[in-house]
A and B are shown apart, each in its own frame.
Chain A
Amino acid sequence: MEQFVKEIKKGIKVHILNTDKFKTNLFAMFLTKKLTREDVTKNALISMILRRGSSKMKSQEEISKKMEELYGASFDCGIDKTGDNQVLKFYIESINDNYLPHTNENTLKIIIGTLLDIAFSPYIENEGFKEEYLEQEKNNLKRRVEGKKDNKARYAIERCTEEMYKDKPFGLYKFGYIEDLDKIDGKNLYKYYKELIDTCKIDIFLSGNVGEDAEKLIDDNENIKSLKERAPDCIFPKNEDKEVKEENVVTEKMDVSQGKLVIGLDVNLNDDKQKYFTLLYNSLLGGSANSKLFQNVREKANLAYVASSSYLRYKNIIFINSGIEISNYEKALNLIKEQIEDMKQGKFTDEEIEENKKVVISAIKTIGDEQDTEVIYYFGQELTGVTVSVNDYVKIIENIKKEDILDVANRVSINTIYFLRD
């Protein structure tokens, strides 16, 4: 598993992951732009309007038909929040020609051309996005923003993030805000779009049995040729200094039958190496079935079905997540706090460390088994500037010592306790 990387123009990189392990080829492109309150809604809306048509395929119906014709190639375009960036993600995945009956077409060339056309050559009327499409996509976006509440568990995590990052970019909702929509029209959005395309960081990934000429297929593409050099307007994640504040306790009411308890933790790191230790710390705290949370909150106290934690490496935060009987709030909270405290006291055994190392290492080793996972792995390296091979990654985890984890445990503090109840 290796990638070939080439900067084709300043700020634009092509990553090629050539392998014959898969029956599919994946072509992905990420446009990374600094997350701001001013642009958040516009970026989200752009990810939706681009799906509606391009200069060559004037409607989503045409795009869909083309995808179906390519043996059900799957095309998607969406928006994500990665650290303090908003990332427009484009994907096309299609079956490799070796697994298709009687074709004489070069499917790879077609999907590359199609995706670049959708992203860089949108359907335009009167120097703007088509107003009819835009109105529909505004409705669609409004529905998405309002739909934030529909999945209660995810909503609780989203709300906890907002509380932790009030008035900061990472507290913004990735789909943006309804009140922004009125000011946006086809013309000003298109103007902004051109600015975005000229200033964002661009990463192009090709994974699969893509052959020797894959690089050339991209180089020769007209849409690529017309892109300008740029100094990307994005944020490369760094360890931020976090001050320990008083716990922010938030309770919100909604019509739920189960209480959703989310605890947001700050991890104050000053060295990138500590991120690996935090990964293992998180596994011990709540990342695996052999973790403190799973064992004590679920298996011993039987308070929950879900009791877990996850680590967001770009922001150095951990979310503890659990669904509990509403009347058990105090009990569960105290028990969770006890687990955090036990970690600080070093109450975890060498055996537990070894077990959790295996869990983490197994996940690392399988990165190359799935195309999208591998792409995201290399994109992460691209943003952080830390290049590490999978083998070295495994070695780093193997060599972590108890004192490393203990050090991280004592850099952890509770930022926000969020409870959703009836």
Chain B
Amino acid sequence: MQVIENLKVKEKLFVEKLQNGLTVMIIPKKDIQKKYMIWGTNYGSNDNKFIVPGEQNVTEVPNGVAHFLEHKMFEQENGTNSLDVLTALGVNANAYTTNDHTAYLFECTDNFYEAMDELMDYVQHPYFTDENVEKEKGIIGQEISMYDDYPDWRVYLNTLEAMYHNNPIKIDITGTKETISKIDKDILYKCYNTFYHPSNMVIVISGDFQPEKILEEVKKRLITNKPSGEIKRIYPEEPASIVKKEIVQNLEVSIPMYTIGIKDVENNNEDKSFIVKKDIGIDILLNLILGRSSNLYQELYKNSIIFGEQSLSYEFGKGYAHILISGISSNPKELFTKFKYTVNKLKEEGINEEDFQRLKKMAYGNYVREYDDVQNVSRMFLADYFKGICSFDYLENIETINSEYLDQLLKDVFKEDKMVLSIVENK
């Protein structure tokens, strides 16, 4: 096994790529009761158009299949449901779907190996019938309705709608009631067989473990699998321009919710430290502009335009990259105007060295903090892995950032013609 040690957080990562292509990552945590295992596949709501290895034709599936598949994986041929089996072991089990991956996980104190048996069994044994697929449409339908009542989810999706012409990042992970009505067991099997191949998957385990022993336990439970060919994923061409500057939706809310989106170009640089550095750099820039200690934050707060910390983030993946700034505001339009003004001023005046050094320290502390909890650690390594990044690289790259780099990054990414505003407000 390859061992990567990070001296800053005093943690070790053990990695092994097995013969069937599966990657296993283990992060031992001494003296922690909780044990965490997560098995992810590089398949999310964005992967709706692809060529199955060995086939010639393009397969296109309805929106929401990856998420639907996640729900259905728990059903077993012998009539049991793996979620029940895991819960019966006293294990906290769950699963989730994102734009680029689907993951199955559990967290426990006791019965770890029994739970591992079940998890590895159900992820490797799909069982879909016409009947069990139909019944799930009712449950997922209610999940979709639940999200329809979340204004923060609406304002987020509308931002993507305003930024992207074609990229599937803008579709809802769950699909809609209409698209899921078209899903049947054949579609589920086809997607399962294509994307749930070990070479497209990674297992991350964290807890008080001996890495070598855990690796053997994983290997024992794997069904040998023939190596698979490459999956060709087809994403539409995405113009650099935005679709529209503003989207307003009316919902019953006491105060408007907003998201500012800034569309960026895809990060397809082979050098991953380039992306890591950019990710950290944007985080620092966002805090310089609208973080709690910034002048803009103080001004907006004093005028009761904002009432607390705003959410600042940078998201990127295949064919997309964007900044999102969101929160609640009594006047999102004024906030947007002042934001743009502040960005321009910062471009002209350059980064203040003292502010930069302080926020760099904050960024460092925030990365260190991620390592205390087995769930955080495991999810972070999994999500970063699917982007080709080793999470430790964030800690190692912070020092390479200087204010000249940030000045340039600000000019390259924070472009006014790439900014959109999404608002959800009362009728």
- Which A residues lie at the B interface, using CB under 8 A? 21-24, 59-61, 64-65, 67-73, 94-95, 99-101, 136, 139-140, 143-144, 146-153, 254-258, 288-290, 295, 298-299, 302-306, 323-325, 351, 355, 357-359, 361-363, 365-366, 368-370
Contacts and interface: CB of A to CB of B under 8 A. Distances in A.
B90 A355 contact: yes
Nearest to A323: B146
Contacts of A362: 90-92, 108-110
B255 A147 contact: yes
B254 A146 contact: yes
Contacts of B307: 139-140, 143-144
Interface of B: 8-10, 31-34, 81, 83-84, 86-93, 108-111, 135-136, 138-143, 145-146, 148-151, 251-255, 291-293, 298, 301-302, 304, 307-308, 328, 330, 358-359, 361-366, 368-369, 371-374
A100 B8 CA distance: 8
Contact of B33 (A59, A94, A359, A368): A368
A295 B85 CA distance: 13
B358 A65 contact: yes
A325 B304 CA distance: 38
Contact of A258 (B90, B146, B304): B146
A22 B109 contact: no
A152 B154 CA distance: 14
A305 B81 contact: no
A258 B372 contact: no
Given A150-B253, A324-B142, 15 more contacts: A61-B292, A71-B361, A71-B365, A99-B8, A100-B365, A101-B364, A136-B301, A139-B307, A146-B255, A303-B142, A305-B140, A325-B141, A359-B92, A361-B110, A366-B33
A136 B302 contact: yes
A251 to B, nearest CB: 17
Nearest to A354: B88
30 contacts: A23-B368, A68-B291, A68-B292, A71-B361, A71-B362, A72-B361, A95-B368, A143-B255, A144-B307, A147-B328, A149-B252, A149-B254, A153-B146, A255-B251, A255-B252, A258-B145, A289-B83, A289-B84, A302-B136, A302-B138, A306-B142, A306-B146, A355-B87, A359-B87, A362-B91, A365-B109, A365-B110, A369-B32, A369-B33, A369-B34
Contacts of B142: 258, 303-306, 323-325
A61 B34 contact: no
The 9 closest A-B pairs by CB, nearest first: A358-B90, A71-B365, A72-B362, A302-B138, A72-B365, A258-B145, A64-B292, A64-B293, A146-B254
B314 to A, nearest CB: 17
A299 B293 contact: no
A60 B365 contact: no
B93 A140 contact: no
Contacts of B372: 21-24
A23 B90 contact: no
A68 B293 contact: yes
A363 to B, nearest CB: 8
A304 B9 contact: no
B34 A366 contact: yes
A368 B109 CA distance: 12
A99 B9 contact: yes
B87 A69 contact: no
A325 B364 CA distance: 46
A254 B252 CA distance: 8
Given A257-B145, A305-B143, A323-B145, A68 B251 contact: no
Contacts of B291: 64, 68
Contact of A23 (B9, B109, B251): B9
A71 B364 contact: yes
B53 to A, nearest CB: 34
Given A95-B368, A99-B9, A359-B90, A369 B373 contact: yes
Contacts of A136: 301-302, 304
B90 A361 contact: yes
Contacts of B374: 369
Contacts of B292: 60-61, 64, 67-68
B405 to A, nearest CB: 19
A290 to B, nearest CB: 4
Contacts of B251: 255
A289 B91 CA distance: 10
A183 B251 CA distance: 33
B87 A365 contact: no
Contacts of A143: 254-255, 304, 307, 328, 330
Contact of B10 (A65, A99, A140): A99
A22 to B, nearest CB: 5
Contacts of A69: 358, 361
Nearest to B301: A136
A160 to B, nearest CB: 17
Contacts of B362: 67-68, 71-72
B154 to A, nearest CB: 11
Nearest to A22: B372
A221 B255 CA distance: 42
